[in-house]
Amino acid sequence: MVPYVGLLLLIALALLPPTAPWSERYLTSLVALGAGGRLVWKGERAFGFALLLLGLGDFLWTLEDLGRLPRGLYLEAPYLLGYALLTLALLRLPGKPPRLTLALLPLGLLGLLTALNPALGVDRIYSAWDALLLLLLLPRLEGLFERFLPGRALLGAGLLLFLVADMAYAFLEAGPGYPTGHPIHLLWTLGYLFLALGVELGEREEVPFPLLALPLGGLFLMPAVLTQDPSPLGVRLLALYGGFWGSLGLLYATYLSWRRTAAHKERWTRFLEALARLSPRVTQTLSPEGVLLGALEAARELLPETVGLELRARRGLVGERTPHALPVPLNGDTAYLYLQTPPKEAVPESFLSLLGERLRQVLRQAEWGLLAHTDPLTGLLNRRGLEAELPKLLALSRRYRTLLSVVMLDIDRFKRVNDTYGHPVGDEVLRHLGRILKASVRKEDLAVRYGGEEFLLVLFGADKEAAKEVVERIRERFRAERVPPIPHPLTLSAGVAGGGVPEGPEELWDWILKADYALLRAKEAGRDRVTLA
């Protein structure tokens, strides 16, 4: 509260006629010297020394005005050095090609026209230099329309106040003369103050509201100060033009910043909703690839340039790799988010942390679901897995009118294998058949250990004859590949049913029952054969 009260007092002292000359002679230079000293102490030497030199020039001018120093060109040295350092400091700031800020260009042209007036003498240098500084300022302010930074807005408003004050001073000097204590000096004072505050704030985005209001208040104050008597018409037009376009530009930049903030919040909402949707539903089993694909789609809600996601420990990659990678924390695992181009803005750590934590949770859920639906001995689906996956396959078949066939297989004389060679060998026989079934079916098919030595296949896009061909290849390979220490080949019996598009789950389960009956007939007919239902 105290700084803002001090600012109001500073404005009052500058505008009240009894104190205005004292304010110009002492307060203006003190503000510049104090602001410059603080910037130098903070490490901002270019802007800091520029303000120190400008403040020193103002103080020397005061001494000369009071008759304490003789007139001479040596009094211009601090101003010239201050202008040079101010130019250097502006050149060091990043900028963008000016478009919207070109509305302020007429102010620079006005400064150049003023510099052509021979009555100004040495002040013509400052008028031309003011125009140059304004040209350098325009690209530095253009970035406000893409990313609003209160510090950059304060810096721009401070420099604009300083430059307009200089140009108005030149107008008065070329006309009726400049009286000490003219309201123009308030613009220098506020310009020095705003410039120092803007440099100190730097890239900070979160600042108190009064600091956000200062640049707009200063630009509104400029025409209010300079449109009163005894300002000539040229000075009034200069103040009105600069104040109008400066305030309008600042309001528009603030509006664009508000829109970007709203859009950013909306993207965050979509990102969090997409992360929530990653959880597998009751009738859904997510594979690790499905989890990564869902996480990639969620990341695109917040970072549209995302093109790939990789989980290196699992050798999982969806999308594509690019040179622009962001590490995703995953509790000891290594995950990378790949971007088509470098991010335009800094990526929040919370985004990567949330993505990594959700990815870890859903991968664990997927693993648990896989374990619950998988036979631990063969790695095939178990009965619970069949019940979870069968509705999906049925929905695909009905949607695309694609045939389904059901195959029931059984290892012939398996009990004799267990009794003769022991259960470990019997388990190896089951594992061996599981490997053959995995290698023989496609990703869209289902391979299930139905119970004991019985196995079930649900073949997508196959009629009964095509299913029989698949079974014959499986039987031939199982017969040809021996399982030590069993010296003789092992055989399979099978029953095939279906071969159509089931109308509902009841019909599909009926086909499974028919395939089981067909398998029983194959066993009764002498084993080692395939029977069609």
pLDDT tens digit string along 501-526?
Answer: 998 889 999 999 999 999 999 988 88
Mean pLDDT of all residues belonging to the chain: 85
pLDDT value for 51: 94
| Burial label, 273 (beta-carbon count in 10 A; 0-12, 13-18, 19+) | exposed
What H or E segment, with its residue span, contains residue 231?
none
Q: What mean pLDDT comes out for the span 354-369? A: 76
Provide the β-strand partners of residue 327.
336
Question: What is the Cα–Cα distance from 299 to 352, expressed in whole angstroms?
Answer: 9
pLDDT tens digits along 283-314: 345 566 777 788 888 888 888 888 888 876 65
pLDDT value for 472: 93
Question: What is the Cα–Cα distance from 101 to 140, expressed in whole angstroms?
Answer: 9
pLDDT tens digits along 382-401: 888 888 888 888 888 888 89
Output Rg (C-alpha) for the chain, integer angstroms. Answer: 41
Inter-CA distances, 118 with 80, 113, 182, Å: 19, 11, 23
Question: What is the Cα–Cα distance from 403 to 398, expressed in whole angstroms?
Answer: 9
Under the banding of pLDDT at 50, 70 and 90, the label for residue 373 is confident
| 274, 293 Cβ separation under 8 angstroms | no
Share of the chain above pLDDT 70, in %: 93
Closest alpha carbon to 104 in 164, 145, 146: 164
Under the banding of pLDDT at 50, 70 and 90, the label for residue 282 is very low
Lowest-confidence range among 20-34, 141-155, 204-218, 254-268?
204-218
Compare 174 and 491 and report the one with higher pLDDT: 491
Question: What is the Cα–Cα distance from 112 to 167, expressed in whole angstroms?
Answer: 10
Question: What is the Cα–Cα distance from 339 to 328, expressed in whole angstroms?
Answer: 13
pLDDT value for 363: 75
Per-residue pLDDT at 334 exceeds 80: no
Closest alpha carbon to 205 in 263, 145, 149, 140: 149
Closest alpha carbon to 31 in 157, 141, 158: 158
The 3-state DSSP composition of the chain as helix, strand, coil percent (nearest 5) reads: 65, 10, 25
Lowest-confidence range among 3-7, 193-197, 231-235, 266-270?
231-235
Per-residue pLDDT at 267 exceeds 50: yes
